[in-house]
Amino acid sequence: MRVGQAYVAKAVKTGRSKNGPYEIVIVQSPGKAQPKIGISVTNVPSGIGPNGVFQLRSIRSVMHRKYKKNGKWVEGSVTVKGKIKPLVQLTPRELDKLQKVNYEGVETTFPSLEDYFS
C-alpha cells in the first residue's frame, strides 16, 4: 500500500464499539493468491461503499498478524490504520497525480444494464 495511490474497496465493514464508530475497508490486488488488506479508517464516515474507489491519504500504523498452525508460523491478516478520501471528492489536480486504477478482479454487488441485455 502506498500513500497517494487509488484503490477499489472489495468490501466495507462498519459498526460501533466502546470507542465509537468504526469502518474497515477491505482491498485486494487482482489474483487469487493476493492477500486481503483491511484499512481501519481514521476519518469515519469515509463515504466509501463496496466497489468504491478511494485514495489512501495517510498511514498512521501497519499491523501484520501471524499465527501458529501445526507448529509453523503462518501469514495472517494485514491491517493499515489511515485516512482515505473517495475519488469523487478529489480535485482535478489530485486526480491527475493518481496512477491508473486497476479494476481487474472486481466483482460488482449489483448487475449492470449490460448484464440484462447481453
Q: CATH fold of 6-117, please?
A: OB fold (Dihydrolipoamide Acetyltransferase, E2P) (2.40.50)
pLDDT band (50, 70, 90) for residue 60 = very high
Instruction: Decide: 37 and 63 in contact? Cβ < 8 Å.
Output: no
Q: What is the DSSP letter of 74?
A: E
Q: Comparing 38-47, 48-57, 104-113, which segment has the lowest mean pLDDT?
A: 104-113
77-103 confidence digits (pLDDT tens): 889 999 999 987 777 787 777 766 655
C-alpha cell at 60: 498512521
1-42 confidence digits (pLDDT tens): 888 888 889 999 999 999 999 999 999 877 777 788 999 999
The structural domains of the chain, with segments of one domain joined by +, span 6-117
- Residue 118: the pLDDT is 57
